[in-house]
Amino acid sequence: MDDPLHDSFSGIQFGLDYSAYEAAQALNQSTLRRLIAPDWGDADDPHRLQALGFGNAGHCLLLEPERFLEEYTRNPDGTLSSQESEVPLSVGTWEALMNAQRSFWVHPEVKRLFVSGHSEVSLFWENPELQIPCKGRLDWWNPELGAIIDLKFAQGSGCDYVRNLVGRRYLDLQLAWYREGMQQLLGIEAQAWVVVIEKSQPNQVYAHQLSARELASGQQKIAKTIALWQREPPR
């Protein structure tokens, strides 16, 4: 059977549709995270589904504003839009997103990190030791700074979210995985940032660059989870 990764995608891909990225048969950080946190990303959790809906809309608004206007519409009662291609948002959700957008763009570190670059960047590489195809999808890549930026929305305190990014959220694994891809593809040690926006007013914004210690923790988790994956790869 042909490998769709090597037949279709390799290297750094800009503007690749998410469905095409998702279909590529390659190991990603989500698979590894589930090996050490089986409940992470539970598709049946209604609270997570709600958070994903807000997060997806927020990512689109902040990183791809033109696409946001094409795909989302403000509906007073949240009912289906007259346009099948549009996703209806309640007035409350719409206003919350607009408030987050205003806070986002006045933050000095955000201005520096997002002044140039590309959103939704797909990486495809091969692990040199195991010779297995790997992939990752970056929220934002700033090539001038050599910075990978991951955008998150926090229900409560953004400060607490950042404090727990290594312990409960496994963002150290996620961003170390992306750095590994960039190292293989470009031969650089990229910066790794997480930008957290609180969903509720005053919509505080926190920009945190992962330390060498946090990235080392992520690398350790990658090694541990790849060993688990090798024993019994998901079917």
**pLDDT at res. 7:** 43
Confidence of residue 77 (pLDDT cuts 50, 70, 90): low
Work out the mean pLDDT of the chain and round it to a whole number.
85
Question: Is residue 18 packed enough to be buried (19+ CB in 10 Å), middle (13-18) or exposed (0-12)?
Answer: exposed
- The residue written with tokens 């992306």 in the block is 178
Where do the domains of the chain lie?
34-230
Under the phi-then-psi rule, with left for phi > 0, alpha for psi from -120 to 50, and beta for the rest, what region is 131? left
Strands 147-154 and 133-142: antiparallel
Record: fold of 34-230 = Lambda Exonuclease; Chain A (3.90.320)
Q: Is the pLDDT of residue 83 over 60?
A: no
pTM recorded for the entire structure: 0.86
Residues 186-203 have pLDDT tens digits of 999 999 999 999 999 999
Residues 86-113 have pLDDT tens digits of 788 988 999 999 999 999 999 999 999 9
